[in-house]
């Protein structure tokens, strides 16, 4: 399985002369006062590159590149995130079961003496079954997912996705801890009541939907959840 050829490109958010705004795709101009911290993830086997920049104490800028897909960049206001990360583990067991079944078939052919192990036909069949078994095993690892996500507070829309323990467990845990602390600080700094946060989160999700970052279906589900919230009726 070949590795993806992905360039690690820095995201320059520093203001330059006569231009003190970040180059976001949305129309809102965000002056960059300072960068809090950055984090980078690269999975060559899956062709995934992610770069996170936390700036101005309140925003996260994400640059994402996925092999055979369009790369995209977007920002979010982290005050609207749920500070509790969620871990999602996906294991495509069918590929592993297929691998074990094929290897079992190899063993049956060998130990039952059903075919002559010295014949060319047997060796060809045995090799073909073994190759397919190995491919199934590689598919199992390739399609396995172990990721950590952050969702919007009330609409439950996935806005930040990370590869678990990448680039290593220590660096990953350090970033998660700093990110959670920054989310909580951002919420405190805004000093908004629940009804106002609901209204502003909905506006943030609408912007991301218009930028094609949040899917239409996810936005509609989030909108229903926010509208049903008891505090939303009192929002401005």
Give the three-state DSSP class for 7.
coil
SS (H, E, C) 100-162: HHHHHHHHHHHHCCCCCCCCHHHHHHHHHHHHHHHHHHHHHHHHCEEEEEEEECCCCCEEEEE
pLDDT top residue among 41 and 26: 41
Instruction: Quickly count: other Cβ atoms within 10 Å of residue 28's Cβ.
Output: 9
What is the model's pLDDT at position 124?
75
pTM, full prediction: 0.72
- By CB neighbour count within 10 A (0-12 exposed, 13-18 middle, 19+ buried), where does 103 fall? middle
- By CB neighbour count within 10 A (0-12 exposed, 13-18 middle, 19+ buried), where does 127 fall? exposed
177-213 pLDDT tens trace? 999 999 999 999 988 888 999 999 999 999 999 999 9
pLDDT top residue among 148 and 130: 148
What is the model's pLDDT at position 197?
92
Model confidence at 20: pLDDT above 70: no
Beta carbons of 234 and 100 less than 8 angstroms apart: no
Model confidence at 132: pLDDT above 80: yes
Of 25-34, 75-84, 190-199, 224-233, where does mean pLDDT reach its minimum?
A: 25-34
Q: Is 102 left (phi over 0), alpha (psi -120 to 50) or beta?
A: alpha
pLDDT top residue among 97 and 222: 222
Spatial separation of the C-alpha atoms in residues 209 and 223, rounded to whole Å:
11
80-119 pLDDT tens trace? 999 999 998 888 888 888 888 888 887 877 776 555 555 6
59-88 pLDDT tens trace? 999 999 988 787 889 999 999 999 999 998
SS (H, E, C) 71-97: CEEEEEEHHHECCCCEEEEECCHHHHH
Spatial separation of the C-alpha atoms in residues 88 and 104, rounded to whole Å:
31
What is the model's pLDDT at position 4?
35
């Amino acid at each position: 399985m070949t590795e993806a050829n992905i360039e690690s490109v820095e995201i320059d958010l520093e203001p330059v002369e006569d231009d003190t705004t970040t180059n976001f795709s949305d129309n809102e101009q965000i002056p960059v006062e300072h960068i809090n911290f950055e984090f980078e993830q690269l999975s060559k086997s899956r062709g995934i590159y992610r770069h996170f920049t936390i700036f101005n104490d309140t925003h996260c800028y994400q640059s994402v590149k996925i092999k055979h897909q369009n790369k995209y960049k977007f920002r979010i206001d982290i005050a609207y995130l749920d500070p509790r990360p969620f871990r999602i583990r996906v294991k495509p067991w069918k590929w592993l079961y297929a691998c074990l079944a094929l290897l079992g078939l190899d063993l049956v052919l060998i130990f039952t003496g059903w075919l002559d192990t010295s014949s060319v036909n047997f060796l060809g069949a045995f090799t073909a079954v073994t190759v397919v078994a190995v491919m199934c095993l590689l598919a199992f690892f390739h399609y396995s997912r172990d990721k950590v996500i952050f969702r919007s507070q009330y609409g439950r829309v996935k806005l930040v996705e990370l590869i678990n323990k990448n680039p290593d467990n220590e660096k990953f845990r350090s970033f998660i801890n700093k990110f959670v602390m920054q989310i909580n600080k951002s919420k405190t700094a805004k000093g908004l009541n629940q009804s106002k946060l609901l209204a502003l989160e909905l506006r943030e999700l609408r912007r991301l939907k218009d930028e094609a970052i949040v899917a239409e279906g996810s936005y509609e589900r989030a909108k229903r959840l926010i509208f049903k919230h008891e505090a939303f009726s009192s929002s401005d």
